[in-house]
Structure formats: C-alpha cells, structure tokens
Amino acid sequence: MQNGPPSEFQRRRGVDNGNLMTAMKRLLAAAFVFAVLPGCAYLNQFLSASGFSQPSFNFKNLAIENASFQGLTLDTVWKLDNPNPIGISLASIDYNLSVEDKQIVSGKPRQGLQINAQGSSDLHFPAGIKFQDLAQVVQTFLNKDNAKWGASGSLGVQTPIGVINFPLSKTGTFEVPKLPAITFGNPKVGNIGISGATLEFPLNVTNKNSYALPFAVSGDLTLAGAKIGTISTGNMGALAGKGQKTMSIPLTVNFISAAGAAVKIAQGGQAQVAFAASVESGGTKLPLNVNQLVNIVK
C-alpha cells in the first residue's frame, strides 16, 4: 500500500473518471427522458439543450398558372423558416396531390436544397392538370364553380442534430375556369348603300376568373332575326383576372342575304342581336350564346 499524497497520474485519472461518470449520467438521463416523454416533447427538450431552434414549415398559398379550358398548373407553395445561425437542407420529400379525389403527378423541390442561416425559402410543388383526366366531358367539369384539392405527405430537413420530419397536409378548393362575359356596344352604321352597309360592332369581353385566361371568340351574328355575318376577335391573348377588353369589329352586311335586317339598319334605333359564339382557350372550344338589345347609331 502506498502512503502519502497521490501522484500526478492518480490525480489525472481521478479527473478523467469524474468526467466519464458525468457523461454517463447525462446519457442515462437522456435515455430516461426519451423513454418517458412523447417524441415531440423529447425533441423540444433536446433542441433546447442543444441550443438549436426547430425550423418551421407551413402552407403559404395556392397559385394557379397557365390556365385555359384545357387545363392549368396548380402550385401549392409552402414556407420553410430556419431561425438558426447555420444552414439546413432538404433530406427527404414525400408529396401527394389529388384533385377531385384523383391522384395527380406533381413536381417537387430537389433534395439537398439549402436554406440559409436565419433565412427562409418558398417550396413549390407544381402540378399540371388536364381537365379531360378529371371528367369524361370537359364542359361538364367546367360547369363547376370550384374543384377540391388535397395535399399530403412529409418533409425531412437535415440539421446538425439529425433529420427533423414535418407533416405536410392541406385541403382546399380552386376556381374552375369560367366562360367570359360577352356584351355588345351600340353598332355604328357606315358606308350605307342600296346593296348593303358596314357596321362597326363594339364587342366587350370580360374575364370572370380571378386569374389570367387566354380567349379567342368567333361566331354567327343575327340582327333583327336575320343573319348578317360572322365575326371573330382572333387570338386576344391572356386576359388578366377580372380584366376586360373591348374590340371594334367591322362587319359588311349584304341587304340581299339579310333583307330582314336592312330596314332596321337603314332606320336606326333599337334591334335585337343574337350571337352564337364559340369561345376558345388553350385549344378547347366551348359554346356561348348572347342575346341583347342594341341601339343602332347612324
């Protein structure tokens, strides 16, 4: 047996044993907490102990793009916030989108996408939807005011303390593309003669949707019960949401083939106009009938 004060080696060994015992106690305490607390509670306690703040992941908005009578792009946008002084990245993505209870193939952000320290990023999940895949008759689907959608899945975020998983769940509805509102202004008579006349027809097209939609309108025009010709707007381009466009369309009327309208055009005053229109958007055509009174201006 050695008497006297402990050697330097013994003192150091005592310190190492003390550190080892402390570490083991912490591990045992952590194991106990993990065993008795629910997963989220343990995670929050662990994050608090590590000094790492949990990122937040929330639904931001639904965006509609490239809309037409043929289909549209439905983009669910989510926001990922990183409050920490170090960056994080996407580790895993499991995303499912359904429209009217039918599974839709959707795009998603790439794994490994970096979110800067104390920064945020919008994550986009765009899905191209063709209405013919949702209904046998496209016109039947487009007669709906709204269609329902649902997103589900999960998002894994790689952090210095491991992967944190967030549930991804949201349901809602979106506006189904609607036919535009079409009205006529008062037509103006010009170059009237024995055999016919030229009429300038102001045509107003209003997009009833809250998002942009392209239109082209054409059809047969009847005045006072007599067909006076065919008018067409050509491709009007994308009309802004709730936007309106007015075009003045010239039409030459032959009094021989439209004898019933000749007197009304010559006299002026009120007359009934009927327009059997075809509205095209994205290569798909839908019928639209307009009936209204106009005041023929001489």
CATH number of the domain that 262 lies in?
A: 2.60.40.1820
Q: Are residues 228 and 119 in the same domain?
A: no
Where is the domain boundary, 159, 175, 191? 175
The answer as to whether 20 is a domain residue is no
Where is the domain boundary, 131, 156, 175? 175
The answer as to whether 239 is a domain residue is yes
Beta strand extents in the chain (DSSP E only)? 56-65, 71-82, 88-99, 102-104, 114-115, 119-130, 146-159, 162-175, 181-184, 188-190, 196-206, 213-223, 226-239, 244-254, 269-281, 284-296
Q: Are residues 207 and 243 in the same domain?
A: yes
Cross-strand partners of 252: 198
What confidence score (pLDDT) does residue 199 get?
94
Give backbone dihedrals phi and psi of 33, rounded to 5 degrees, phi first.
-60, -45
The answer as to whether 39 is a domain residue is no
| Per-residue model confidence as pLDDT tens for the chain (298 residues) | 445 555 544 444 444 444 434 433 443 443 444 344 444 554 455 455 456 889 999 999 999 999 999 999 999 999 999 999 999 999 999 999 999 999 999 999 988 899 999 999 999 999 999 999 998 889 889 999 999 999 999 999 998 888 999 999 999 999 999 999 999 999 999 888 889 999 999 999 999 999 999 999 999 999 999 999 999 999 999 999 999 999 999 999 999 999 889 988 988 999 999 999 999 999 999 999 999 999 999 8
Q: Are residues 197 and 171 in the same domain?
A: no
Give backbone dihedrals phi and psi of 27, rounded to 5 degrees, phi first.
-65, -45
Cα angle 142, 147, 148 (rounded to 5 degrees) comes to 165
Q: Are residues 61 and 93 in the same domain?
A: yes
Q: Are residues 188 and 162 in the same domain?
A: no
The answer as to whether 222 is a domain residue is yes
Q: Are residues 128 and 238 in the same domain?
A: no
Whether the model clears a pTM of 0.85, i.e. scores above it, the answer is: no
Q: Would you give the DSSP letter of residue 46?
A: H
Cα angle 235, 277, 66 (rounded to 5 degrees) comes to 40
Q: Are residues 252 and 275 in the same domain?
A: yes
The answer as to whether 5 is a domain residue is no
The answer as to whether 28 is a domain residue is no
Q: Are residues 126 and 58 in the same domain?
A: yes
Burial class (CB in 10 A: 0-12, 13-18, 19+), 27: exposed
Burial class (CB in 10 A: 0-12, 13-18, 19+), 274: middle
Residue 124: CATH number of its domain: 2.60.40.10
Nearest to 290 by CA among 273, 265, 268, 271: 273
Q: Are residues 148 and 224 in the same domain?
A: no
Domain span at 198: 181-296
3 state DSSP class of 74: strand
The answer as to whether 41 is a domain residue is no
Maximum C-alpha span of the chain: 138
Domain count across the chain:
2
Q: Are residues 90 and 193 in the same domain?
A: no
Q: Are residues 170 and 186 in the same domain?
A: no
Q: Would you give the DSSP letter of residue 87?
A: -
State the residue for tokens 């939807």: 129
Q: Are residues 207 and 141 in the same domain?
A: no
Where is the domain boundary, 146, 175, 204? 175
What confidence score (pLDDT) does residue 187 get?
95
The answer as to whether 23 is a domain residue is no
Q: How far is CA 219 from CA 198, 200, 208, 291, in A?
A: 18, 16, 20, 13
